[in-house]
Structure 1
Amino acid sequence: MKDTFDTTSLEVHHAPATLGDRVALRTVKVMRLFADAFFSKRYGHRAVVLETVAAVPGMVGGLLQHLKALRHIRDDQGWIRELLDEAENERMHLMTFIEIAQPSRTERVIIMLGQAIFYNAYFWLYLFTPRIAHRIVGYLEEEAVVSYTQYLAEIDAGRVANVPAPAIAREYWKLPSDAMLRDVVIAVRADEAGHRDRNHQMADELKAG
């Protein structure tokens, strides 16, 4: 299966232009340090924890945009459905990598704690500063693209087994029956690049009013 992902989009980075942008970027870089320290090159396990966190913003944003639209009695411009679709997409990433990585009991505890902390923090952040919240997700997705690119490099180098793609992944991304892990990583990376670009765009739209 040939790569269909535009490699030029891997290098996209939103240069911080405001104090809020710089805070968002620094926050994500700190989170990256913890992920690197704990998981190192165990990219399958890293993906499980990453996707647990990544599935939160879309659901929180969709909920708060829904309530905002009700309060102001106005159209949501399609944001609610888009954010909920993003959350569902990230959840499917998680379900896929659980099949591949089989997280340990310790990692499952980390997942539960990480989700609890991140959900509450992100909820209040989005409630008061949705622009910064979307910027954080944009930067998180930038890091996700980097991580999946590194994951792909490990597969190509033979340091990670290129196992058959789980059935849930083949069905969700409409992959062929002989699809492998490499094909899944490429599909997931493309999703993350899309979320990256859209969240940065949403932050820009909120900044513009």
Structure 2
Amino acid sequence: MHRFTEKQMDDIVVAHREAKDWSDWIALGTVRLLRWGTDLCTGYRHDKEVSKSETAAAAAVEKPPKFTMNERKWLIRFIFLESVAGVPGMVGGMLRHLRSMRKLRRDNGWIETLLEEAYNERMHLLTFLKMAEPGWFMRIMVLGAQGVFFNGFFFAYLISPRICHRFVGYLEEEAVLTYSRAIADIEAGKLPKWTNMPAPDIAVGYWKMPEGSQTVKDLLMYVRADEAKHREVNHTLGNLDQNEDPNPFNSNYYNPEKPHPTKSITHMRPTGWERDEVI
């Protein structure tokens, strides 16, 4: 697990990659539909002006949102989202693993990155489960959502891996926005229980959180940084030739001083690296 500096986490921004072709529009439209369904299931509401801002924290201070989310509502949303967020990486890694064995050739470094993403998302879930125990209704929703999403993503990845990676890129854009709003609520004093609450021990150990920076707000900063990285990775993978191109996040570069994709959040590209920049 790569450690993030405080400045790197503060520099994370809400961003959106504009759809450029029909496959991008399919991915974006699917994310918007799922976003609507998730908002409905978790009781999530927000002020539209905040959603339009690149800095949700500033917007929340300048114009208080009409709708409020308490600590319990945020945790329900986090648990529901993270319970399915680990599916894409696992499905993609599994299918590429099987293809590699079936074709008797290497995978160009994609499998490792996808499985790392799945593991990272599962750690998010395990961390939030230390803060709240979901009831039977939430467990049923998670079971149903995961079952539908896993099978849907499985068949979609068989048909078009590129659309699937673009879909995950757009999904992670929403995740960055969601955690930015939660952080903004803490900074605005709207979540008093989390103001000085310590992060669970599992989070402190996993992210190696330093002394003095181990609160729930710090935890959300780390989670948001992870989601921003997944956003960059999947938008980049969506720009590549799915069968031939190497994974730029797992490659060596002739000129390491020049900005290039890395496993950390150094040289972050919120909307992904274009193919001609990394191949």
TM-score range, shorter chain: over 0.9
Q: What is the alpha-carbon distance in structure 2 between the residues aligned to residue 154 and residue 38 of structure 1?
A: 21
Which amino acid is 2:102 matched to? R
Q: What TM-score does the superposition give when structure 1 sets the normalisation length?
A: 0.93
Task: Go from structure 1 to structure 2 and tell me whether the alpha carbon gap of 1:200 and 1:122 turns closer, same or farther (over 3 Å shift).
Answer: same
C-alpha RMSD of matched pairs (Å): 1.8
TM alignment of 1:136-155, pairs within 5 A:
136-155=167-186
How many Å apart are 1:43 and its aligned residue?
1.7
Which residue in 2 is equivalent to 1:47?
A: 78
Which amino acid is 2:215 matched to? M
Q: Output one character per residue of 1:164-198: Cα deviation in whole Å (capped at 9) or x when no partner.
A: 10010001000135511000000000000000010
Q: What is the alpha-carbon distance in structure 2 between the residues aligned to residue 94 and residue 67 of structure 1?
A: 27
Q: What is the alpha-carbon distance in structure 2 between the residues aligned to residue 207 and residue 19 of structure 1?
A: 17
Which residue in 2 is equivalent to 1:18?
A: 21
Which of 33, 37, 51 in structure 2 is aligned with 1:34? 37
Structure having the higher helix fraction is: 1
The answer on whether the counterparts of 1:149 and 1:189 sit within 8 Å (CA) in structure 2 is yes
Give the secondary structure class of the aligned counterpart of 1:16: coil
The answer on whether the counterparts of 2:86 and 2:118 sit within 8 Å (CA) in structure 1 is yes
Which of 129, 133, 136 in structure 2 is aligned with 1:98? 129
Which residue in 2 is equivalent to 1:119?
A: 150
Which residue in 2 is equivalent to 1:133?
A: 164
Q: What is the alpha-carbon distance in structure 2 between the residues aligned to residue 7 and residue 131 of structure 1?
A: 30
**1:164 maps to 2:195:** no
Unaligned runs of 5+ in 2: 45-68, 245-279
Q: What is the alpha-carbon distance in structure 2 between the residues aligned to residue 18 and residue 7 of structure 1?
A: 32
Task: Go from structure 1 to structure 2 and tell me whether the alpha carbon gap of 1:156 and 1:9 turns closer, same or farther (over 3 Å shift).
Answer: closer
Q: What is the alpha-carbon distance in structure 1 between the residues aligned to residue 101 and residue 134 of structure 2?
A: 40
**1:193 maps to 2:228:** yes
The answer on whether the counterparts of 1:100 and 1:166 sit within 8 Å (CA) in structure 2 is yes
Give the secondary structure class of the aligned counterpart of 1:165: coil
Unaligned runs of 5+ in 1: none
How many Å apart are 1:9 and its aligned residue?
4.2
The answer on whether the counterparts of 1:66 and 1:76 sit within 8 Å (CA) in structure 2 is yes
How many Å apart are 1:159 and its aligned residue?
2.0
Q: What is the alpha-carbon distance in structure 2 between the residues aligned to residue 102 and residue 96 of structure 1?
A: 11
Q: Output one character per residue of 1:97-145: Cα deviation in whole Å (capped at 9) or x when no partner.
A: 1112322221111111110010000000011111111111111100000
Which residue in 2 is equivalent to 1:183?
A: 218
Q: After superposing the two structures, state which structure 1 stretch, 94-103 or 140-149, moved more.
A: 94-103
What percent identity do the matched residue pairs reach? 43
Q: What TM-score does the superposition give when structure 2 sets the normalisation length?
A: 0.71
How many Å apart are 1:8 and its aligned residue?
5.2
Task: Go from structure 1 to structure 2 and tell me whether the alpha carbon gap of 1:208 and 1:201 turns closer, same or farther (over 3 Å shift).
Answer: farther
Task: Go from structure 1 to structure 2 and tell me whether the alpha carbon gap of 1:4 and 1:45 turns closer, same or farther (over 3 Å shift).
Answer: farther
